[in-house]
Amino acid sequence: MLTPAVSSARRPASRGVGILALGVVVALLYFGRVFFITVIIAAIISFLLDPAVLFFMKLKMPRGLASFVVCSLGLMFLYLAGLGIYTEGVAMLNDLPAYGERINALIDGATGRMDNMEKSMYRSLMPKRFQEEQQAEKDAMARAGTNKKKSPAPAPPTIQEVRVRPEPTPLVNYVYLYLTSFYNVLLMASFVPFLVYFQLSWGDHLRTRVLYLFEGADRHVAGRALAGVAEMVRAYVVGNFLLGVVLSIASSILFASVKLPYWLVAGPVSGFLSLIPYIGLPLALMPPLIAALPMSTGPQLYLFLAAAVALLHLFALNLLYPKFVGARVHLNPLVVTLALMFWGMLWGGIGLVLAIPLTAAIKAVCDNVGSLQAYGKLLGD
């Protein structure tokens, strides 16, 4: 039996080990971010497609064949969506000269207005007496210039400058580093379809083998935790997808009503970008404003598009989001903010997208494990 002094001495050591283990986990998540992001995205997609696999299994299909059919349909959907985006992108490339002329005209107009504003402010702020004196000096210099020819100024002495040229960095190094990072991302992304297929076809087998790692009552707790994670992630992804579809349809109808070019692409892109936490509104404004550049209209169209997209975003955030997503996740706003900061710091932009489902999955584990339920309540709303 341990004495109170020994037990109290071991507590700081166990806390130190826990902090060290947490630091190791954070380092692994940072340095192995490409690997972990790939696995997590594949797991989220498999959780999302698993009900479709179960539907085909009810039609007397084997699980492997049902998984293959579902993955094939998903890839076909992505191919058709990519083909539509590619077609619209080619049309936008053909209109690049019009975009360039419009941007130059806007920049020239803004520069002219700024110059006129600066001159008017200068005239309004400077007293009239100083303006008269400056005008008199200009007139006197003009008269003196007409009466006396200016002798050419002597050429300045030539000074030989010694310039130290830095060593040129080979262009091959830049290209190699860029292609290496891009190649790593493409390489990991190419594994996503295979990971999704194997997770779907071997789902029951993998779940059984994972549960065999636990014994007794812990096995039942682990099963509930896995089911809770799958349900939470699936509810979050489905809720966001349905909300994105609603926003895409509303945005497309709005953009088509003002005859916006490429509204078939600008509407869905703006609708789904609006779902990104905190930065969704400025991102959702970019597609319609860029598409409206070739239109020879005044600023009224841009103001209308900005106001309409902002109203759609606020309507979705305050009325639709709590019903589609908030009621399924049960995370308090402070935890959501901290999660966005943490995962965004670790994984950048993709971390902002995955922050809420990852935190919701952690909460689902805490809610189903007795010793961690207090942490689940801390994360919840």
3-state secondary structure of 178: helix
Q: How many other CB atoms are found less than 10 A from the CB of residue 219?
A: 14
| CA of residue 366 relative to chain centroid, distance | 28
At 296, the pLDDT band (50, 70, 90 cuts) reads low
What's the distance, Cα to Cα, between the start and end of the chain in Å?
Answer: 41
- In this structure, what are the phi and psi dihedrals at residue 190, rounded to the nearest 5 degrees? -70, -20
Q: Provide the percentage of residues in the chain whose pLDDT is more than 90.
A: 0
Rounded to the nearest 5 percent, the helix, strand and coil shares of the chain are 85, 0, 15
What is the C-alpha separation between 322 and 209, in angstroms, rounded?
37
Is the pLDDT score of 342 beyond 60? yes
List Cα–Cα distances, 363 to 12, 222, 356, in angstroms. 26, 14, 10
| Highest mean pLDDT, choosing among 60-74, 209-223, 296-310, 329-343 | 60-74
Q: What are phi and psi of 129, to 5 degrees?
A: -65, -45
pLDDT digits (tens, 9 = 90+) for 112-136: 667 777 667 666 665 555 556 666 6
CA dihedral sign, ordered 106, 110, 116, 117: positive
Compute the CA torsion angle 301, 303, 309, 313 (nearest 10 deg). Answer: -170
Higher pLDDT, residue 344 or 328: 344
The per-residue pLDDT of the chain, averaged, comes to 76
Q: Most confidently modeled of 135-149, 157-171, 243-257, 330-344?
A: 243-257
Q: What is the pTM of this model?
A: 0.66
Q: How far apart are CA 198 and CA 191, in angstroms?
A: 11
Arithmetic mean of pLDDT, 243-249: 87
Question: Is 243's pLDDT higher than 80?
Answer: yes
DSSP character at residue 348: T
* Contact status, residue 281 vs residue 298, Cβ threshold 8 Å: no
Q: Tokens 């919840």 label which residue?
A: 380
Which of the two residues, 13 and 194, has the higher pLDDT score? Answer: 194
Q: What is the mean pLDDT of residues 23-43?
A: 87
pLDDT at position 361:
85
User: pLDDT value at position 13?
Assistant: 63
Q: Say if CB 37 and CB 194 are below 8 A apart.
A: no
pLDDT digits (tens, 9 = 90+) for 251-278: 889 888 888 888 888 888 888 888 877 7
79 pLDDT above the threshold of 80: yes
pLDDT value at residue 147? 55
Q: Is the pLDDT of residue 111 over 80?
A: no
Cα 43 from Cα 353, distance rounded (Å)? 15
> So what's the pLDDT on residue 236?
81
